[in-house]
A and B are shown apart, each in its own frame.
Chain A
Amino acid sequence: MPDLTAPTSPKNGRVGAWWGPAVGLSGLGFYAATTIPESAGREIYFNVAHPWAVYVFLAALIGLLVYGLVHHIRLWGIGRPTPGMLSEIPHRFRNAMRLGLAQEKVRRDRYAGIMHWCIFSSIVVLTFVTAQVAIEGDTPIKFLHGTYYLIFSFYGDLFGLIGLIGVGMALNRRYFQDFHRIRWDERLEDHVIIVGLGLVLLSGFLVEAARILVSELVQHPDWAPWSFVSFVIAKGLAGFAMEEASVLTLHAWTWWFHIASAFGWLALIVFTRLDHLFFAPVNAFFLRTDSPGRLAKIEDIEQQEVFGVGYVQDFTWKQLFELDACVRCGRCTEVCPANISGQPLSPMHLIQDLKSHLATVGPDIQTHVHQFGDAGREVSPVAMVGDVIKDETLWACRTCGACMQECPVMIEHVPTIVDMRRFLVMNEARIPATAQSALENLESRGHPWRGTALERTTWMEGLGEVPIFDGSQEYLYWVGCSGSLVERNLPITKAVFRLLGESGASFGVLGQEETCNGDPARRLGNEYLYQILAQQLVETFKSKNVQRVITNCPHCFNTFKNEYPQFDGNFEVLHHTEFLSGALKTGKLKATHAVSADVTYHDSCYLGRLNGQYDAPRQIIEMVPGANLLEMQRNFSKGLCCGAGGGNMWQEEIGERRVNHVRSEEAVRTGASQVISNCPFCIQMFEDGVPAVHPEEEGRMRPFDIAELLEESVFGKR
């Protein structure tokens, strides 16, 4: 199962390293504490008048939380039903644990991972500590004495300190580092949350220190050091030689400040992004369990009144729920190829804009006070698609999935963006001219390459007999529109063909009978056209008894593998890199000729990030004698899109730079003489991008498909 939640590379991410020291220290404390008398303990609500008032705070907090939740639930409720959300419960539960509680994605940024773990664990443990105090003080259950009391004191202080370290790291990043992404949408609440938490923790220590100063430091000097942080502060306070009454006054005031600030801070959950405390793990539970490369099918499309999502209530409730999980961390925007290139898309702002649109029009829709227009849709003075979310924002998306990969709260941006594209294209027919031309070409000619002078059989010239698939062969070699109708890609198609033949595989091609499988139409938002093309092709495959397919295009690969099952088309699908690496391993192909070159490898989004295949292509490169792989800085699941995904192959780019120039620059920077990829779109983008960033012909890097590299090694230089 391709997994968007996988770590960047197998090398990083170890939960145990964090819990180890904490468990070790606790164990040590337990050992030492066995000598402590049972009498060890403290007076609960020491020096506090009317402690019952705490429960007033608690009741208010619970009331607020319930109010906030009900408000949110009502808003999410305006969305459409979300099918399948309660399927595969064990898998979903694991996701909630792994991605919610264990915060695997948060740790993709190491600094943030440590900071967040410190704060998170501190809040969890200190809530538990506080609850124990309440139970000891207000119920007949008594357990806070003797050894456990001292251990309790120890870990209470330890996690208070850990929390302060986390707060310190957060303050450092926010105020002392040149760290941009958290400031892209910085709000007052961000300062309040972090400074507030610092005050809660500090005041907690101060309360404890004051109590230790008057009740333990002299009386029980063997107990006091267990609260090691407060003990040090108490020692410090002792230096001021305050009168006991003053210390008690300080204690009382600080105690109430601590309580009020702690409850006040928790109340922020209702009003600020602190709500991710609940929403993030729940969203992890609701995270899709199928492939991230799959877009949802519009069932019974001919029966629909409105196509795609142009009105907020046409999102599913899961999509609306997601909006509330966003914490504005900016990780999505930081990795977005459009944003990196100065183009008009920031996934974070898109989510936030939708969120505030929901907050604006949602309550009225929920209570049905709005004017209702076509098909009962809310008519808002601002159109969601067009005004709130600009057309060009939606068109800039490459559907590369980098945003979803990085999102620590598991928001799925791409399906949301494509849903709005569907509205633009099918409902409004608002579409960039060049993309429209590609779609019209798909409709009338069955391929997106307007103006091509090639035929689907042109690549076969000079290859002798090319077997046509008739059901007797094991594999269908699917050449694809780009593999047959774009001049640059013909050598790739020929290379794959020759290698398949050399490996002894039994295969055939469809030749003139190939038609587009619909991927560009689906990514560009024309789901109707996609469904027509997909249904036709599934029928063709079935009529020819196709069982196994090899593609040289990761987009075709993704469509056949992940999306055709929606049309009852279940085939075993291999990308050529997977087949070829297998043939090399089993000795069916022998890479004997040296290709002495430094090469860099570009992970295409649809083979890499969205289908989890990072190894097969790299194994091929490793098996080519003489080829030396130099990795780019952004690779594996952090690989940057070439710029062509999501139908952008057929669009004019708007913005400061072109994505393929940015990526070509990264490839050139490795110093390699070849950039190797696995996707005809990527190759075309590099063919255009490398000369742009490296104008001198001398020593210019050249883009090749991995099949071309392997062809040279298997057959020798042409």
Chain B
Amino acid sequence: MHIVVCAKQIPDPETPPSAFRIDAASNKVVPAQGIAPVLSQFDGIAAEAALRIKEANAGSKVTVISLGADSAASAIKQVLAMGADEGVLLNDPAFEDGDSYTTAKTLAAAIKKLGDVDAVFCGRQAADWDMGQVGLLIAEEMGWPVSIIAKGVTTGGAGLQIQRVVEDGYETVETPLPAVVTVSNEFGEPRYPKLPQIMAAAKKTVTQWKTADLGLDAGEVGAAGARLKLEKLSTPPRGGAVELMPGDSPEEQAAALVAKLRADKII
């Protein structure tokens, strides 16, 4: 089985609030000094899910694809160190500033170029924009079934058996292959790479594809092809207000608090 893992490199979600800045003119996040971008945590979990299937099915292969700039190669290396076989970086200035649609379109083009792909694993969402669209849109582009927010993925039957997280528990579904799966944090932690694999990953070359390699036009990728326009990006105002609950006794104050929380639909 050949599984593609889509991995995105994102600004570190643990950037201290004081170091997180937005450039109002360009509507972009200013990279924080001394804080390197990281692999989106959900994508690491998707890689873990793919690697477990690879280990359970001899002869399987995992390819990691990332759409990003040069620095995204380190996210690919990280997944290679976990045990993925090959890495592809979709790296072209034309890809910049796209939206979920162009990202999915570009990734799907790469998946088609690979040819023999049986399944695509994505994180449930990228931990920077949190849109959760790319996995679904890849499925749309490929014309494949998609199962989202998986907490478990196994092989055994006809295709993949997937435990999907739903509001009050989880449901088990089976999907034929090829298919797209988005993996959630309920799946578990990604593995810690073994040093021999880190060494092997360091020696692997990451394939780089540009717009033309994928048979796409510059006009349909990146900012040019995006359907979503960003109007304004800003940090939420930080601050707090204190409201003291009226009442002469603790009981009265508690009753007032409950009434207030109910009125605000918090409880």
Interface on A for B, CB 8 Å cutoff?
302, 305, 307, 425-429, 431, 433, 436, 439-440, 444-446, 450-456, 458, 512-513, 528
Give the distance to chain A from B238, nearest Cβ to Cβ, in Å: 11
Q: Is A445 in contact with B36, judged by CB distance below 8 angstroms?
A: yes
Q: Is B59 positioned at the interface, with any CB of A under 8 Å from its CB?
A: no
Chain A residues with Cβ below 8 Å from B196 are: 305, 307, 427
Taking a contact as CB atoms closer than 8 A, the residue among A425, A428, A452 that contacts B16 in the complex is: A452
Chain A residues with Cβ below 8 Å from B192 are: 425, 429, 431, 436, 439-440
Complex CA distance for A182 and B196, rounded to whole angstroms: 43
Q: Is A453 in contact with B16, judged by CB distance below 8 angstroms?
A: yes
Q: Is B249 positioned at the interface, with any CB of A under 8 Å from its CB?
A: no
Q: Is B14 in contact with A433, judged by CB distance below 8 angstroms?
A: no
Chain B residues with Cβ below 8 Å from A458 are: 16, 18
Chain A residues with Cβ below 8 Å from B35 are: 445
Q: Is B195 in contact with A454, judged by CB distance below 8 angstroms?
A: no
Chain B residues with Cβ below 8 Å from A439 are: 192
Complex CA distance for A513 and B192, rounded to whole angstroms: 27
Given A427-B194, A436-B192, A445-B14: 4 more A-B contacts, CB < 8 Å: A426-B194, A429-B192, A429-B193, A458-B18
Taking a contact as CB atoms closer than 8 A, the residue among B17, B189, B194 that contacts A428 in the complex is: B194
Query: Which residue of chain B lies nearest to A435 when distances are taken between CB atoms in the complex?
Result: B192
Taking a contact as CB atoms closer than 8 A, the residue among A429, A456, A513 that contacts B194 in the complex is: A429
| 14 contacts across the A-B interface (CB closer than 8 A) | A427-B194, A429-B191, A429-B193, A436-B189, A445-B36, A446-B36, A451-B14, A453-B16, A454-B18, A458-B16, A458-B18, A512-B34, A513-B34, A528-B198
Chain B residues with Cβ below 8 Å from A305 are: 196
Interface on B for A, CB 8 Å cutoff?
12, 14, 16-19, 33-36, 38, 189, 191-196, 198-199
Give the distance to chain B from A308, nearest Cβ to Cβ, in Å: 9
Taking a contact as CB atoms closer than 8 A, the residue among A428, A429, A453, A456 that contacts B34 in the complex is: A456
Chain B residues with Cβ below 8 Å from A454 are: 16, 18
Give the distance to chain A from B74, nearest Cβ to Cβ, in Å: 9
Give the distance to chain B from A385, nearest Cβ to Cβ, in Å: 14
Query: Which residue of chain A lies nearest to B34 when distances are taken between CB atoms in the complex?
Result: A512
Query: Which residue of chain A lies nearest to B198 when distances are taken between CB atoms in the complex?
Result: A528
Query: Which residue of chain A lies nearest to B32 when distances are taken between CB atoms in the complex?
Result: A455
Complex CA distance for A429 and B192, rounded to whole angstroms: 6
Which secondary structure dominates chain B's binding surface?
loop
Q: Is B189 in contact with A433, judged by CB distance below 8 angstroms?
A: yes
Complex CA distance for A451 and B12, rounded to whole angstroms: 11
A455 with B12: in contact, given A427-B196, A429-B191, A429-B193 (CB under 8 Å)?
no
Query: Which residue of chain B lies nearest to A511 when distances are taken between CB atoms in the complex?
Result: B34
Query: Which residue of chain A lies nearest to B37 when distances are taken between CB atoms in the complex?
Result: A444
Query: Which residue of chain B lies nearest to A306 when distances are taken between CB atoms in the complex?
Result: B196
Give the distance to chain A from B8, nearest Cβ to Cβ, in Å: 15
Q: Is A512 in contact with B14, judged by CB distance below 8 angstroms?
A: no
Query: Which residue of chain B lies nearest to A430 when distances are taken between CB atoms in the complex?
Result: B192
Complex CA distance for A528 and B193, rounded to whole angstroms: 12
Complex CA distance for A81 and B194, rounded to whole angstroms: 26
Q: Is B199 in contact with A445, judged by CB distance below 8 angstroms?
A: no
Query: Which residue of chain A lies nearest to B82 when distances are taken between CB atoms in the complex?
Result: A429
Give the distance to chain A from B11, nearest Cβ to Cβ, in Å: 12
Give the distance to chain A from B127, nearest Cβ to Cβ, in Å: 13
Give the distance to chain B from A137, nearest Cβ to Cβ, in Å: 66
Give the distance to chain A from B214, nearest Cβ to Cβ, in Å: 29
Chain B residues with Cβ below 8 Å from A512 are: 33-34
Q: Is A455 in contact with B18, judged by CB distance below 8 angstroms?
A: yes
Query: Which residue of chain A lies nearest to B199 when distances are taken between CB atoms in the complex?
Result: A302
Q: Is A453 in contact with B17, judged by CB distance below 8 angstroms?
A: yes
Give the distance to chain B from A618, nearest Cβ to Cβ, in Å: 37
Chain B residues with Cβ below 8 Å from A445 are: 12, 14, 35-36, 38
Complex CA distance for A427 and B195, rounded to whole angstroms: 6
Q: Is B12 in contact with A444, judged by CB distance below 8 angstroms?
A: yes
Query: Which residue of chain B lies nearest to A451 when distances are taken between CB atoms in the complex?
Result: B14
Complex CA distance for A427 and B193, rounded to whole angstroms: 9
Give the distance to chain B from A595, nearest Cβ to Cβ, in Å: 33
Query: Which residue of chain B lies nearest to A453 when distances are taken between CB atoms in the complex?
Result: B16
Give the distance to chain A from B196, nearest Cβ to Cβ, in Å: 7
Chain A residues with Cβ below 8 Å from B199 are: 302
Give the distance to chain B from A126, nearest Cβ to Cβ, in Å: 56
Chain B residues with Cβ below 8 Å from A440 are: 192
Tell which of B14, B34, B191, B192 has the most Cβ of chain A within 10 Å. B192
Chain A residues with Cβ below 8 Å from B36 are: 444-446
Query: Which residue of chain A lies nearest to B38 when distances are taken between CB atoms in the complex?
Result: A444
**Sorted from nearest, which 6 A-B pairs have the closest CB atoms?**
A426-B195, A429-B192, A429-B194, A512-B34, A444-B38, A453-B16
Complex CA distance for A305 and B200, rounded to whole angstroms: 12
Give the distance to chain B from A483, nearest Cβ to Cβ, in Å: 16
Chain B residues with Cβ below 8 Å from A513 are: 34
Chain B residues with Cβ below 8 Å from A429 are: 191-194
Chain B residues with Cβ below 8 Å from A427 are: 194-196
Give the distance to chain A from B203, nearest Cβ to Cβ, in Å: 10
Chain B residues with Cβ below 8 Å from A450 are: 14
Chain A residues with Cβ below 8 Å from B195 are: 307, 426-427, 528
Complex CA distance for A307 and B196, rounded to whole angstroms: 9
Complex CA distance for A454 and B32, rounded to whole angstroms: 13
Chain A residues with Cβ below 8 Å from B18 are: 453-455, 458
Chain B residues with Cβ below 8 Å from A436 are: 189, 192
Query: Which residue of chain B lies nearest to A527 when distances are taken between CB atoms in the complex?
Result: B195
Complex CA distance for A429 and B48, rounded to whole angstroms: 14
Chain A residues with Cβ below 8 Å from B193 are: 429
Chain A residues with Cβ below 8 Å from B16 are: 452-455, 458
Give the distance to chain A from B68, nearest Cβ to Cβ, in Å: 16
Give the distance to chain B from A468, nearest Cβ to Cβ, in Å: 13
Query: Which residue of chain A lies nearest to B192 when distances are taken between CB atoms in the complex?
Result: A429
Complex CA distance for A455 and B189, rounded to whole angstroms: 27
Complex CA distance for A436 and B35, rounded to whole angstroms: 20
Chain A residues with Cβ below 8 Å from B38 are: 444-445
Query: Which residue of chain A lies nearest to B193 when distances are taken between CB atoms in the complex?
Result: A429
Give the distance to chain B from A474, nearest Cβ to Cβ, in Å: 26
Query: Which residue of chain B lies nearest to A485 when distances are taken between CB atoms in the complex?
Result: B16
Query: Which residue of chain B lies nearest to A302 when distances are taken between CB atoms in the complex?
Result: B199
Query: Which residue of chain B lies nearest to A305 when distances are taken between CB atoms in the complex?
Result: B196
Chain A residues with Cβ below 8 Å from B191 are: 429
Chain B residues with Cβ below 8 Å from A446 are: 34, 36
Give the distance to chain A from B45, nearest Cβ to Cβ, in Å: 13
Complex CA distance for A513 and B34, rounded to whole angstroms: 7
Give the distance to chain A from B190, nearest Cβ to Cβ, in Å: 9
Chain B residues with Cβ below 8 Å from A444 are: 12, 36, 38
Chain A residues with Cβ below 8 Å from B33 are: 512
Give the distance to chain B from A200, nearest Cβ to Cβ, in Å: 55
Complex CA distance for A528 and B17, rounded to whole angstroms: 31
Query: Which residue of chain B lies nearest to A433 when distances are taken between CB atoms in the complex?
Result: B189
Give the distance to chain B from A655, nearest Cβ to Cβ, in Å: 24
Chain B residues with Cβ below 8 Å from A453 are: 16-18
Complex CA distance for A458 and B19, rounded to whole angstroms: 10
A455 with B19: in contact, given A427-B195, A429-B191, A436-B192 (CB under 8 Å)?
yes
Give the distance to chain A from B239, nearest Cβ to Cβ, in Å: 16
Complex CA distance for A453 and B193, rounded to whole angstroms: 27
Chain B residues with Cβ below 8 Å from A307 are: 195-196
Give the distance to chain B from A461, nearest Cβ to Cβ, in Å: 10
Complex CA distance for A450 and B14, rounded to whole angstroms: 8
Complex CA distance for A512 and B196, rounded to whole angstroms: 32
Complex CA distance for A440 and B191, rounded to whole angstroms: 11
Complex CA distance for A454 and B193, rounded to whole angstroms: 28
Complex CA distance for A208 and B195, rounded to whole angstroms: 69
Query: Which residue of chain B lies nearest to A307 when distances are taken between CB atoms in the complex?
Result: B195
Complex CA distance for A445 and B38, rounded to whole angstroms: 9
Tell which of A428, A445, A446 has the most Cβ of chain B within 10 Å. A445
Chain A residues with Cβ below 8 Å from B19 are: 455
